[in-house]
């Protein structure tokens, strides 16, 4: 039967199960120690459950739980703000390297011209007009690549097994670093403008400096092009009409907004896709007789 009991400290009346007779514990009203009257019974649960211990979680864990997410969020925001600037800096460096490549190739062509009295034909052809060697192979001795040049047999077609083996050698100077896969590729981004009236000329045509009637600083000799998958050894370039069509579509260079070109005097310029087509055509041809307005 329940045992009626009144706390002697606070006067709280309560009924306590007889199994707690003779046991002591805190009063549920005032918390002071009291003893239930009666003879102690069988051991049972304490009169009141012991208070739960306070959390022992170290304060540093709590601080880390709050701080780490904040650091990650702030770091993510900072990275998002810095990433465009980092990418822009990297592209600027790649564009500068591309410009340097064009500059070195243009100077090599000028050195060839000084030694031979004319620029190398863009395409060396056999008696039947079939291409047999590219200008890029012809200038190798002027790029400290005499050993590589001697591996090429000009008596064989350019795509013979022996000569094609030469084309498997990567030549970073012929590759724009902004083009995907540039590091290990054997392709070229740098082409000459070919055809009648250009510095590249027609097959076997060796253009002289004196043939550039419009002036070497007003005539394009080399351009950068991406997406044509041309092996650096292959005797293939672009005509003025082909290049103008690519510019009109804005699909020439791996750089945004325009393309880089080397002039016949060895200087390198960046030309916007918005260039006037008439101006561009005049720059691609060597003897238009026009007074050219430079678009840069």
Better pLDDT: 59 or 174: 174
Contact 210, 236 (CB under 8 A): no
Least confident among 81-85, 127-131, 179-183, 193-197: 81-85
Mean pLDDT for all residues in the chain: 84
DSSP 176-222: -TTSTTTTT--EE-EEEEESTTSSS-STT----GGG-TT-GGGSEEE
Residue matched to tokens 């390297």: 97
As a whole number, mean pLDDT of residues 5-18 equals 73
Tell me the pLDDT band of 247, cut-offs 50, 70 and 90.
Answer: very high
pLDDT score recorded for residue 54:
53
Residue 289: pLDDT over 70: yes
- Taking only the tens place, the pLDDT of each residue in 211-241 is 999 999 999 999 999 989 999 999 999 999 9
Report whether 119 contacts 112 (CB < 8 A): yes
Q: Which of 25, 7, 18 lies closest to 42, judged by CA?
A: 18
Number of H helices, E strands in the chain: 6, 13
Q: Which residue has the higher pLDDT, 125 or 91?
A: 125
Q: In the chain, what percentage of residues exceed pLDDT 70? A: 78
Calculate mean pLDDT across residues 257-276: 95
pTM equals: 0.70
Looking at residue 47, what is its pLDDT? 47
Q: Between these two residues, 276 and 7, which has the higher pLDDT value?
A: 276
Q: How confident is the model at residue 124 (pLDDT cuts 50, 70, 90)?
A: very high
- Among 254, 240, 147, smallest CA distance to 192 is for 240
Return the pLDDT at 59: 72
For the chain, give the percent of residues with pLDDT over 90. 58
**Residue 78 pLDDT greater than 70, yes or no:** no
More reliable by pLDDT, 35 or 62 = 35
Nearest to 108 by CA among 123, 120, 98, 95: 120
**Average pLDDT for 73-100:** 73
Sign of the CA dihedral running 167, 171, 174, 179:
positive
Task: Quick: pLDDT tens for 170-184.
Answer: 999 999 999 887 667
Domain layout of the chain by residue ranges: 82-284
- 44 falls in which pLDDT band (50, 70, 90)? very low
The pLDDT score that the predictor gives to residue 45 is 44
Query: Is residue 149 predicted with pLDDT exceeding 80?
Result: yes
The reported pLDDT for the residue numbered 101 is: 96
């Amino acid at each position: 039967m329940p045992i009626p009991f009144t706390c002697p400290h606070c006067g709280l009346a309560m009924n306590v199960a007889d199994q707690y007779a003779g046991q002591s514990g805190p009063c549920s009203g005032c918390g002071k120690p009291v003893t239930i009257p009666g003879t102690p019974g069988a051991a049972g649960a304490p009169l009141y459950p012991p208070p739960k211990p306070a959390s022992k979680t170290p304060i540093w864990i709590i601080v880390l739980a709050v701080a780490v997410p904040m650091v990650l969020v702030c770091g993510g925001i900072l990275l998002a703000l810095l990433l465009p600037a980092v990418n822009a800096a990297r592209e600027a460096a790649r564009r500068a390297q591309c410009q340097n490549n064009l500059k070195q190739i243009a100077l090599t062509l000028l050195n060839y011209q000084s030694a031979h009295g004319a620029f190398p034909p863009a395409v060396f052809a056999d008696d039947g007009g079939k291409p047999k060697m590219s200008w890029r192979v012809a200038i190798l001795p002027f790029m400290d690549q005499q050993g590589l040049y001697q591996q090429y047999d000009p008596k064989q077609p350019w795509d013979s097994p022996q000569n094609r083996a030469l084309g498997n050698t990567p030549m970073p100077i012929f590759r724009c670093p902004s083009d995907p896969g540039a590091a290990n590729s054997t392709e070229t981004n740098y082409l000459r403008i070919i055809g009648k009236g250009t510095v590249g000329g027609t097959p076997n045509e060796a253009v002289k400096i004196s043939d550039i009637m419009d002036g070497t600083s007003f005539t394009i000799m080399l351009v950068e092009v991406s997406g044509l998958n041309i092996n650096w050894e292959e005797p293939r370039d672009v005509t003025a009409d082909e290049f103008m069509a690519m510019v009109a579509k804005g699909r020439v260079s791996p750089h945004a907004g325009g393309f880089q070109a080397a002039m016949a005097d060895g200087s390198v310029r960046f030309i916007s896709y918005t260039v006037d087509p008439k101006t561009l055509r005049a720059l691609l041809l060597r003897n238009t007789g026009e007074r050219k307005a430079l678009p840069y």
